[in-house]
Amino acid sequence: MREEIDKPEKDTQGRRRLSWYYAPSFLLLWLALFFAIVIPLYNRLPERVTIADEPSRRGEFVAGRAEQQLHDYERIGPKVVGSRANEVETVEFLLGEVEKIKMELRSDLYDLEVDVQLPSGGFLIAGMWNMYQGIQNVIVKLSTKESQSDSYLLINSHFDSKPGSPGSGDDGTMVVVMLEVLRQMATSETPFQHGIIFLFNGAEENALQGAHGFITQHKWAPNCRALINLESGGSGGRDLLFQSGPNTPWLMKYYREHARHPFATTLAEETWQAGIIPSDTDFRIFRDFGSVPGLDIAQANNGYVYHTAFDTFKVIPGRSIQNTGNNILALARAFANASELSEPENTDDSHAVFFDFLGLFFVYYTESTGIILNSVIGVLSLVLVGCSLWRMSRQSEKMSLAQISIRFLIILVLHLVGLLLCICLPLLMAVLFDAGARSLTYFTSNWLVFGLYVCPAIIGLVLPLTLYFTLLPSDKLSHPYLIQMSLHAEFVVLALLILILTALGTRSQYLCLISLIFYGGAVLINLISTLHDRGYYWSITVVSLQVIPFCYFSYLFYMLLVVFFPITGRNGISSNPDLIIAVLCGICTYFAMGFVAQFINVFRWPKLILLGLGVVSFIFCMIAVSEVGFPYRAKTNVMRVNFMQTKRIFYDYEGAETHSDSGYYFVYQDRRGLTPLEDSHVNLTGLTSMEPDCDKYIMCGAPCFNSCGGRRRAGWLPRAVDIPGDITLQLLEKSVLPDGNTTRLELELTGPPQMNVFIQPVGVARVTDWSFERKLLEDTYQPPYFVYISYGIDDSPLKFFIELTNSDGDLSGPIIELGVVGHFVSYEFERDAQAREFLAELPDFVHAMEWPSLFKGYIF
C-alpha cells in the first residue's frame, strides 16, 4: 500500500520540474545582471570639474587644471633617468608648477618649502646591488604656521618613465593629481594639524631608487609617519587601493570614512604581496627602509598601454583624474588632521580585512574581528545544515536521519569532485590551446573567456551531481530535497574552507564569509517559514538572496581579469599565462555560481543543458582559433618586443681581444615569443637561443638591464651594430694583501647613465670583501654577482674595489672574470641605420622598447 502512495508522489515532484528550455533564460538572467549592474558600477566615474566650474565649487579637486598640466608633462617625451628630459626639463616643469602654487599660497596660514634632492647610495633588491648617484627628487613641504606637530604625511609619485613611453599614465597622472592636491591644500582656508611632504621622485622605474634616496637620506624623512603612494598599472579607470599597513588598521578606518569613491580589496593586497603580479612599487621601499605605513593606490584599467608609447594623454579620461583627485584630496585632508599621525606607537599586530561593495560603500574590520566572525559563521553554517537534514528526516517517511546523512555525504563527495572539475576543465582548455600554439587568444577579445573557461567551469561544477540525480534508478527522497542537499554541500565546503583559511591566517577568506551569510540567511528563512519543506518554494529565497553575492563576486573577479589580461602579454615566455586566466575563471565561477549553477538540475533534462553549454564552448573555441583570436591590435593591445642592439667584446688575461660580435638581444615578453612576426616582413634569419653562450661567458654575455632572470631563454639575432658611446673599466691597481692569499683590485668604471657590473670569481677563488653590500657575499647568494648602477646629473666615474682569496694560494694567474654593460637608453643616443630599418619593418601591432648596449668582458 505504501508503494502505491509513494509512486504518484514522485511523479508529482517530477511534473513540478521546469521544462529544459527555461534553463537558457535562467542562465542568461545572471549574465544580464552582470552587464546591467556589475559593469556600469565598475566603470562609474564622477563628472570632471573644469577650471570654469571652480568659482562655484571652491575646495574641490579640479581635473581640468590637472589635465592641462598632464598635457605639458607629456610634451616633454620619455623621461629616462640620466636624460635631459628627466633631469632638466621635467624638474623645471615641476618647479615651475610649484612656483605657480606658491603665488596663490595663503602665506598667512601656511609655509611652503621646496627642495631638489640629489641622493647617492645603494640597496639590495632581488639579489642585485642597486646603486645610484646624483638622481633627483623634487620635494615640497606644506605646513601650517601655527602647528607644533613634527609629524608629516608623505604623498609620493614618480616623474620618470620607461624608455620610449611618455608615461602619461605611469605616473604622470599621479604627478598632476599631487600638484592639484598641493594647490588645493595650499589655498585652503582651513589649516591642518600635520605637515604634508609631496615627494615627486625621479627614479622609480630604475628599480625604486628615488624613494630609497629620500627615505634613507633626506632631512624630512624621519618625521614621515604615514604614506599615500600613488602608482599606475595602466591608464585611467578607478584608483584601486591594493596594499595597506602594515600593522596600522587605523589607516583603513580613515579610508572608509573619507575616500569618496572607495575601490579596494584584501584579495588584491594578498595577490600582490604573494608576488603573483610581476611588478613592484615605492610602497615597498618606504615600508622596508623607513618603516612608514600607508596606502598603496594605483589606477589599473587599460594595462595594455602600460610602459608603451601609447601611454598618452588621449587615453586617460578626465573623469578618472577627477576620481583619483577626489579620493586623494579627501584622504590628504583627513590624514593631515589625524591624531594617530603624532602617535607612532599607535600600531596593531593585526592587519585589516577590507573591501568595497560595487563602489557603493566600504567594509572594514580588523583581522582579530575577522577571526571571531569567521569562526562563528563557519560553525553556525554547519549547524544550519544539520538542522536542515534533521528537518528532512522528520518530513520523510522512508529515510532516517542516518540514511539522509549518508546520502548527503555522497552528494558532498560528488560536489567536491565538481569543484575539482570546475578548476581542472578550464585548465585543460588552457593546456590544449597552449599545446596548439594558440595561447593569449583572449588578449584582445576578452569575451572569449566566457566560452573558453567559464562554460567548462560550470559544466565541471554541475556534471557529477547531474549524473548522480539522473542515473539513480530510484530515490526515497523528493527531488527538491536532493537539490537542497546539493546546495548544502556547497555550504559545507565553504564553511570548512573559511575555518581552514582563518587558521592559516589568510584574510581573503572574507569571500567565503559573504557566501555563507547570504546562503545561510536563506536557509534560516526557509526553516522558520516552512518553505524548506514545500517543494521548490525554498528556491525563491535562495535565488533572491544570491543576487547580491553574485554581483559582488562578478565585480571583484572582473576587476582581477581587467588587471591580469594585460599582464599576460608581459609575463615572459617560460610560463603559460592562460593557466592564470583559467584558474581565475574557475574560481570566479565557483564563488559567483556555486549555488546558482546547481539549479540546472531543477530543470528537466539537465544533461541536455550541459550539452548545450558544451556546444557553446566548442563554438567559442572555433572563434578563438580564427583571426578573432589573434592576440594583438595596433596601438590598443600591442605585442611587446624588448631588445637591445648589442656589441660584445671579450678580453683575455693579457688584455688582448679574444672575441667580438654584435646582434640584437631579445627578452621575450609573452608566451608566443617572436612567432607572430614570422608572417611579417621582419627579417629574423639567424635568430638563436642565448643558452649556448651561458657556458662561454659571464652572465651568458647578456646585456641585462636591471634584471637577468630570463637570460637563458632570451634570443640572439646576429646583426651589425654601431654603438653611440663607450663604457670603460680601468684597473687602477692590483695588489696582494699582507696575508699573502688575498688580491685587491682597485677599479674605475665610466659610461652611460645606466650600467651593469657582473662579478664571477675564477676557479677556487672567492670574493671576501668589496665596495658593495657585504650581505651579497653570504652563502645565500651565489656568483655571478650582479650590480646595477645609474646616475642622474652626477656622471663622475664609479670607483670600487674587490678583494679575492684563493684557497690554493696561487695568485699569479686569472682570479676573477668581470663583465660590464653600458646601456644607451635615452633617445639622446642615436640608433644606427640598420636598427631604424628593423624598427620600421615591425608590424603596426608591435611596440618595441629598445636601445643600444655595449658588453665588455674582462679577466684579471
pLDDT of amino acid 348: 64
Q: Is residue 754 part of a domain?
A: yes
Say whether pLDDT at 395 is over 90. Answer: no
**pLDDT tens track for 97-154:** 999 999 999 999 999 999 999 999 999 998 899 999 999 999 999 999 999 999 999 9
82: left (phi over 0), alpha (psi -120 to 50) or beta: left
Residues 6+ apart with CB under 8 A from 298: 230, 231, 232, 233, 239, 240, 242, 281
User: Do both 607 and 643 map to the same domain?
Assistant: no
Mean pLDDT of the region 70-78: 97
Decide if pLDDT at 674 tops 60.
yes
In a domain, 33, yes or no: no
Distance (Å, rounded) from C-alpha 482 to C-alpha 825?
A: 66
**pTM of the predicted structure, to 2 decimals:** 0.93
Same domain flag for 150 and 225: yes
Largest CA distance in the chain: 108
> Is residue 11 very low, low, confident or very high in pLDDT (cuts 50, 70, 90)?
very low
* Residue 381 in this model has a pLDDT that exceeds 80: yes
User: Of 349, 378, 401, which residue constitutes the final position of a domain?
Assistant: 349
Which region among 35-49, 464-478, 663-677, 823-837 has the lowest average model confidence (pLDDT)?
464-478
pLDDT in tens, 283-339: 999 999 999 999 999 998 999 999 999 999 999 999 999 999 999 999 999 999 999
What gap in Å lies between CA 227 and CA 222, rounded to an integer? 12
User: Mind giving me the DSSP string for 338-358?
Assistant: -GGGG-TT---SS-EEEEEET
Same domain for 385 and 323: no
Q: Averaged over 779-797, what is the pLDDT?
A: 92
Q: Are residue 763 and residue 818 in the same domain, yes or no?
A: yes
pLDDT over 60 (residue 375): yes
| Better-predicted residue by pLDDT, 706 or 432 | 432
Number of domains in the chain: 3
Helix H segments across 310-400?
Answer: 318-335, 367-395
pLDDT of residue 4: 35
Residue that is last in its domain, among 601, 629, 657: 629
Angle at 228 between CA 222 and CA 229, to 5 degrees: 100
The three cell numbers of residue 844 are: 603596426
What percent of the chain is predicted at pLDDT more than 70?
Answer: 97
HSE-CB at 629 with a 13 A cutoff on CA atoms is 20
Q: Does residue 80 surpass a pLDDT of 50?
A: yes
Average pLDDT value for residue range 189-218: 96
| Chain mean pLDDT for the chain | 93
Q: Is residue 798 part of a domain?
A: yes
Name residues whose C-beta falls within 8 Å of residue 192's C-beta, 6 or more positions apart in sequence: 144, 147, 185, 333, 336, 337
pLDDT of the residue at 6:
35
Beta strands of 624-741 (E only): which ranges?
A: 639-651, 657-668, 688-689, 715-718, 728-736
* Omega prior to 676 cis, within 30 of 0: no
How is residue 202 annotated by DSSP? S
Residues 99 and 133 sit within 8 Å (Cβ to Cβ): no
* The predicted structure's pLDDT at residue 343: 77
pLDDT beyond 50 at 568: yes
Full domain range(s) for residue 525: 368-629
Determine the average pLDDT of the residues in 847-853.
97
* pLDDT value of position 346: 60
| Domain membership flag for residue 776 | yes
Asked whether residue 650 carries a pLDDT value surpassing 90, the answer given is yes
Is the domain of 625 the same as that of 690?
A: no
- Residue range 197-214: mean pLDDT, rounded: 97
Residues 6+ apart with CB under 8 A from 741: 805, 806, 807, 809, 811
Q: Tell me which of 563, 597, 629 is where a domain ends.
A: 629
**Which of helix, strand or coil describes residue 295?**
strand
When pLDDT is cut at 50, 70 and 90, the band that residue 347 belongs to is low
Same domain, 749 and 820: yes
pLDDT exceeds 50 at position 8: no
Radius of gyration (C-alpha) of the chain in whole angstroms: 31
For helices 455-471 and 577-593, give the axis angle rounded to 10 degrees. 50
Examine the domain organization and report whether 646 and 624 are in the same domain: no
In a domain, 13, yes or no: no
For residue 48, is it within any domain? Answer: no
pLDDT at 5: 33
Identify whether residues 675 and 747 lie together within a single domain: yes
* pLDDT higher than 70, residue 10: no
Q: Do residues 624 and 664 both lie within one domain?
A: no
State mean pLDDT over 524-547: 94
In this structure, how many other beta carbons lie within 10 angstroms of the beta carbon of residue 433?
22
Rounded to the nearest 5°, which phi and psi values hold at 811? -110, 15
Q: Are residues 425 and 515 in the same domain?
A: yes
Sorted by sequence, the CB contacts under 8 Å of residue 674 that are 6+ apart come out as 641, 666, 668, 684, 687, 715
Q: What is the pLDDT of residue 472?
A: 77
Listed in sequence order, the residues at least 6 apart from 9 whose beta carbon sits closer than 8 Å to its beta carbon are: 478
pLDDT for 688-720, tens place per residue?
999 999 989 999 999 998 888 889 999 999 999
Is residue 692 within 8 A of residue 714, CB to CB? The reply is no
Task: Classify residue 43: in a domain, yes or no.
Answer: no
- The whole-angstrom distance between residue 108's C-alpha and the CA centroid of its chain comes to 44
Q: Cell 621601499 identifies what position?
A: 285
533 and 439 inside one domain: yes
Q: Does residue 248 lie in a domain region?
A: yes
Q: Is 689 in contact with 682 (CB distance < 8 Å)?
A: no
Average pLDDT over residues 9-24: 64
Mean pLDDT of 459-487: 89
Question: Do residues 341 and 406 both lie within one domain?
Answer: no
Which CATH number fits the domain that encloses residue 184?
3.40.630.10
Q: Which of 131, 134, 102 is nearest to 117 (CA)?
A: 134
